[in-house]
Amino acid sequence: MWLTRAVFRCFKCFERTADRVTGAVGPLFIGIAVVLIGIGIFSFFDIIAPTLRWPIITTPICALIALNTLANYYWAITVPPGFADDDFRLSGYKRSAPVGRWERWTTAPVRVQGHGSDFIRGHELEPARTGRCQKCGSIKPERTHHCRICKRCVLKYDHHCPVRINQCVGIGNERHFILFMAYLIVCCGFLLVLGLPPAWEVIGMPYHWPHRTPQVMFLLIYIVAIALGIAVSAMLSWHLYLIGRGQTSVENHDFSQYKKVAASRGQTFVNSYDLGIRRNFALFFNLTPTGHPWWVLLTPFRTKPYTNGHAWARRHGFESGHGGIREEEELTDDEED
């Protein structure tokens, strides 16, 4: 028994050390990402963009894609994920903080109440059940989880992302995290397809290279774009699947356990947050009758969530919770210790 406890404590010590190291090197990862993205964009407009037909049309489109990539990365990094111990409001800041001019200029417009597509009409928000976190002591609405790296509870916690954004992905910045990955894939695709001829030219080691981007640098960026395109595409596909099912990464793990518990009683687990693929995506990006119009996804504006994390839209008939599982059977962060 003592040996088992010793091994467990060693693993816990290693885990805490890894968390501290991850948090410390996070800004370095962000710096590397910014440099790579910047070099890729510069290379594209230096080498590829001048060769495209109809530059009056293609150049603005490419510039908008590049701007959206950088803007969504900036928002994913700087917008708080939404902490349970803050007085979180829909803008992502504390309610006591004044709305500044920068926030007004950079936040996407919203529809007038009563207009817009009929995506979630009939699904009223139900107040979230609350508890208290045994790790930080804050009040935890449902779908809130404690991040062991940030050491705070995050509303609609998905995961902590130290490599790309150096903070948690939560209700405040999850839309920009997804849009950043989507636009990054588009950038990689454009670079790989349209940059194939100059890449082959670089491999042939031409004597004359009339571009400001060094040949070796362009070839390295091309190779990085291949790796990033594959890796980010896989991650984006997984997250789009989760969005369509109305769940987060943590909830996907928990729900798999709930299905087993419900099946052991001859019941079927029902996710009360799953309103169907169309409505799930509409809620995630806040494309609701009182939210943002669809075209804001094509702009670099900052977007707001449809809720402040203390109330959620639920399926009809499951307003009080998930089906097939009892409230006391739901997993908590405390069970990880």
Catalytic site positions: 161
| DSSP labels, 12-58 | HHHHHHHHHHHHHHHHHHHHHHHHHHHHHHHHIIIIIGGGSSSHHHH
Identity of residue 97:
A
| Cα separation, 32 vs 35, whole angstroms | 5
Q: Give backbone dihedrals phi and psi of 91, rounded to 5 degrees, phi first.
A: -80, -15
Q: Give backbone dihedrals phi and psi of 88, rounded to 5 degrees, phi first.
A: -70, 135
Q: Output the six-digit token pair for 214.
A: 């060094």
| Cα separation, 102 vs 88, whole angstroms | 19
Angle at 155 between CA 185 and CA 22, to 5 degrees: 60
In the DSSP assignment, the letter for residue 336 is G
CB atoms within 10 A of CB 290: 14
| Cα separation, 8 vs 337, whole angstroms | 10
| Cα separation, 170 vs 155, whole angstroms | 6
Cα Rg of the chain, angstroms: 23
Query: H or E stretch including 106?
Result: helix 101-106
| DSSP labels, 280-297 | HHHHHTT-STTS--GGGG
Sign of CA dihedral 215, 68, 183, 72: positive
Residue 210, CA distances (Å) to 38, 52, 74, 198, 213 in order:
20, 16, 33, 11, 9
